[in-house]
Structure 1
Amino acid sequence: MADVTNLNRFRKQKARAQARQEADANAAKFGRTRAQRQREEAEAEKARQTLDAHRRDETP
């Protein structure tokens, strides 16, 4: 006797694969990794702190 195949499962697998492929393409085109974002945020924060440390206070 032949095995029964669920066509919905294959349709959903195909849709997931297509969505994953589009996501990978968008990530390569636009995205940055989490580590890259965190490094850039840390560099910006350090630059901000350095600038604030060199600021002169104007006291009347």
Structure 2
Amino acid sequence: MPTITYDGPALPLENKRTAAKEITDTISKATKLDPSNIVVIFKENAPENVAVGGKLIVDRKKA
């Protein structure tokens, strides 16, 4: 089973539903695999847990 991971900021539930469906459909079409065999995992990261360029995202938003 292929597993696709979204690793990014939190998304609203409806956006996750849409993304899961579209990602699954795209991978299924490209690989000819049955959609029921494709796994999509959402790993959401709070801005205080991610740094870019040595600065936490939560701090970058304040600047």
Give the TM-score of the pair, scaled to structure 1: 0.35
Q: Give the structure with the larger strand fraction.
A: 2
Which has more radius of gyration? Answer: 1
Ranked by relative contact order (alpha carbons within 8 Å, sequence separation 6 or more), the top structure is: 2
